Amino acid sequence: MNQKPWNKIAVLGATSDMAIAFCHFVAKHGISLILIARNKEKLEKIAKDINIRYNVSVETVLFDVEKDDPTILVKKISEPIDVFISFVGYLGNQSKAQSDPKEVDKIVKINYQMPAIITELLLEKIKQSTSNKRMIVGISSVAGDRGRQSNYFYGSAKAAYSAYLSGLRNRLFKEKIHVLTVKPGFVYTSMTQDLNLPPLLTAQPEEVAKDIYKAMLKQKDVLYTKWFWKYIMLIIKYLPEFLFKRLSL
Ligand SMILES: NC(=O)c1ccc[n+]([C@@H]2O[C@H](COP(=O)([O-])OP(=O)(O)OC[C@H]3O[C@@H](n4cnc5c(N)ncnc54)[C@H](OP(=O)(O)O)[C@@H]3O)[C@@H](O)[C@H]2O)c1
């Protein structure tokens, strides 16, 4: 019989469409979950559904990334966790952010500042785990690879988050705690429901969930999903600035 790689995974932003697909995928493998999100009704519905379908333990913790105190969140998690994964994110309104400091604050807080702070505080729970595959997974974005006029506030917050995860990976290497940075391209979720996404380039949340799980098993450092985004971003990253600044991206 296959031994499961992890016993308990804590998921921040558990009501995200990508997170729901991921939670179903891991619960199918018999892994217990701690689901953290701000919407009580949605959270309990997701938890109940997963518990009934896969017969795994699913705890819920209510937490609003914008308003609540992260030190209280950590106190609510009593047991060691093998993996912490953050899906929390906010696309924001680029044109509003250009004249409204509060919108900038919200974009930075949800996409970078709070996921980083919570990760640091939860580290003690990960260090207590006896798993030989202790891990932190952060969902960043290809948008963080190069700033574009259409969403550079969101992109720069994700760039900060990617840089944070890179530094953390470097710091925790010797302690055998792995850090995986996930950079999705376009994905059909509630975040992108109003956008006209190109079908050939856009993934379903279930595809992303499977890619993340496989990358976790392989202990990859950085995952682009779908896979071809690695090459698209390679071109975008290395386009010379004198050309890039002329494009309407
Ligand atoms: N969809 C894409 O094309 C795409 C591409 C690249 C990267 N990403 C990233 O992928 C991750 C998952 O996003 P998604 O596409 O699955 O979108 P989503 O369904 O909109 O998920 C966003 C998650 O963030 C949570 N959140 C937002 N503000 C919060 C707050 N103040 N307190 C607590 N939770 C808050 C949402 O909670 P509620 O359910 O309560 O709103 C939801 O769980 C995000 O980090 C996103 O930036 C998405």
190-238 residue pLDDT tens: 999 999 999 999 999 999 999 999 999 999 999 999 999 999 999 999 9
Output the pLDDT for position 1: 46
pLDDT averaged over every residue in the chain: 97
Q: Write out the two tokens for 238.
A: 């290395």
Threshold 0.95, pTM exceeds: yes
197 alpha carbon to ligand 1 midpoint, in Å? Answer: 17
Question: Are the beta carbons of 222 and 181 closer than 8 angstroms?
Answer: yes
Q: Which of 12, 16, 65 to mutate for ligand 1's pocket (most ligand atoms within 8 Å of CB)?
A: 16
For 115-145, the pLDDT digits (tens) are 999 999 999 999 999 999 999 999 999 999 9
> Coil, strand, or helix at residue 81?
coil
> Max Cα separation, the chain?
58
**Percent of the chain scoring above 70 in pLDDT:** 99
Ligand 1 neighbour 223 (Cβ under 6 A): no
Output the pLDDT for position 3: 79
Q: Average of pLDDT values for 174-187?
A: 98
**Domains recognised in the chain with CATH numbers:** 8-244 (3.40.50.720)
Rounded Cα gap, residues 156 and 144, in angstroms: 6
Question: Are the beta carbons of 107 and 154 closer than 8 angstroms?
Answer: yes
Output the pLDDT for position 2: 59
Q: pLDDT-derived band of residue 38, with 50, 70 and 90 as boundaries?
A: very high
Rounded Cα gap, residues 109 and 198, in angstroms: 29
Output the pLDDT for position 113: 98
Q: Average of pLDDT values for 22-47?
A: 98
Ligand 1 neighbour 37 (Cβ under 6 A): yes
**Percent of the chain scoring above 90 in pLDDT:** 97
16 alpha carbon to ligand 1 midpoint, in Å? Answer: 5
Pairing of strands 135-139, 178-184: parallel
